[in-house]
């Protein structure tokens, strides 16, 4: 399977910015929930997200480990972001 960059998707990503992106690593079992593209593109998509976020000036964190560890990492990242927003006001 050959996957290519989609300029329309890149344009959406360039226009919409969030305060924090949480990117989970693909190191836990894949679960299809009806919305995901599929396990066959999982690693590729993760690499593209990391590549795109690394090129920009956005705040992001990579989440890895067990589900509990990922949750803790996400909570820490959001807490850190919130404390910074309070400090700047």
pLDDT (tens digit per residue) in 50-88 = 988 898 778 899 999 999 999 999 999 999 999 886 666
Structure tokens at 56: 């920009």
**First and final CA of the chain: distance in angstroms?**
49
Tallying the residues shown for the chain, one arrives at 89
Model pLDDT, residue 72 = 98
Average pLDDT over residues 13-21: 79
Its pTM stands at 0.72
Structural contact between residues 70 and 24, judged by C-beta atoms closer than 8 angstroms: yes
Model pLDDT, residue 29 = 87
Give just the sign of the alpha carbon dihedral 82, 58, 45, 36: positive
Of the candidates 69, 56, 66, the residue with the CA atom closest to the CA atom of residue 21: 56
Higher pLDDT, 12 or 29: 29
């Amino acid at each position: 399977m050959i996957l290519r960059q989609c300029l329309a998707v890149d344009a959406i990503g360039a226009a919409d910015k969030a305060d924090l992106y949480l990117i989970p690593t693909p190191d836990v079992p894949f679960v299809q929930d009806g919305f995901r593209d599929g396990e066959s593109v999982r690693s590729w998509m993760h690499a593209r997200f990391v590549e795109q976020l690394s090129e920009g000036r956005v705040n992001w964190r990579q989440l890895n480990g067990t589900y509990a560890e990922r949750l803790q990492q996400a909570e820490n990242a959001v807490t850190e972001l919130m404390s910074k927003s309070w400090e700047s006001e």
